[in-house]
Amino acid sequence: MSWQRPVQHIDRKDLYTNLEARIQYLHTFLDFSSNDIEALISGSKYIKALIPAVVNIVYHKLLQYDITARAFQTRSTSFEGPLDEFPDDNSPQILHRKMFLRGYLNRLCSDPSKLEFWEYLDKVGMMHVGRGREHPLHVEYVHIGACLSFIQDVLTEALLSHPRLPLQRKIALVKAIGKVIWIQNDLFAKWYVKDGEEFADEIAQVNIEREGYLHGKKVITGEGSGSESESDKENKGNASSPKSPTSRIPVSPKIAGSPSLSGSCPFQGMAKGVAEMKVEADRDADTQQSKEVMTPPRSPTPTNKKAESS
């Protein structure tokens, strides 16, 4: 007996021993295509404008529960500064972790047509189960899934509330970033679940590297997008508009008009929580001299507070 219609064969063993094969399967299943890559590249400046605020909102949420705040009460990262026993939004260890989350979210705005993009997302998953780190970090999966969903929710609301982006671009961008986040979710889950454990002996050995490094190269910069990673530097200089090998879409090495993460936070009123937030985003590069403000549906009343520093 055989299938009466064309069916693509997926090798189960490859899903657990070959990251590239797993990514290709997820791409085809989710219809992650050059259209999604184009949406992410062209819309990355809008995502980058939201990153400082998203980071603040995420850590504000994590500190609302003792079970998630507990991860910041022990020295489980490379941070060597003082530890507050009961951390808040401005505790030294929280500011340190915010720096890496900013860098990670900026990494999501790089070129997803390259395997290195997904290799780093896979490494992020591995690091949260205590592997590949000099200082093991263990975070239970229930909190990982909830946090990813929360990040997607905040980004979706902010992007759909943008007053200047055409509806079709909003839809394309929200769909693309949603697919990336769900693939990241899978690359977390693969390190937590026991599926495929019979192939454990054939999985490549894990190498211990410093935080923000992949294959010995620095891929997450110390202050988010304010400086370049080594892989970013390697990609510069080949052409004014290098092309993605998969999507064939021009990729600008540096997107004009994208704000520095060291600047003001585009979400205002963060001290009062997510319920009273205001969003500011840069316009397109040709009109970046002016500012535009968008208020997501969450905010019942506007706030007049000055933007917080990221």
Structure confidence by residue, pLDDT tens digits, 163-189: 999 999 999 999 999 999 999 999 999
| Neighbour count for residue 165 (Cβ, 10 Å) | 19
Report residue 280: phi and psi, to 5°.
Answer: -120, 135
Ranges 31-45, 143-157, 202-216, 245-259: which has the least confidence: 245-259
pLDDT tens track for 49-71:
999 999 999 999 999 999 999 88
List the domains of the chain with CATH numbers. 13-218 (1.10.490.10)
Judging by DSSP bridges, how do beta strands 278-282 and 217-218 pair with one another?
A: unpaired
Task: Write down the pTM of the prediction.
Answer: 0.65
> By three-state DSSP, how is residue 292 classified?
strand
Q: Which carries the bigger pLDDT value, residue 28 or residue 204?
A: 28
State the DSSP string of 228-275. Answer: --HHHHHHSSS-SS-B-TTT--B--SS-TTPPPTTSB-SEE-GGG-GG
Res 215: pLDDT:
59
The pLDDT of residue 92 is above 70: yes
Q: How many residues does the chain have?
A: 310
The candidate with the shortest Cα–Cα distance to 184, out of 104, 251, 274, 93, is 104
Structure tokens at 171: 């839809």
The pLDDT of residue 121 is above 50: yes
The candidate with the shortest Cα–Cα distance to 251, out of 260, 240, 262, 261, is 240
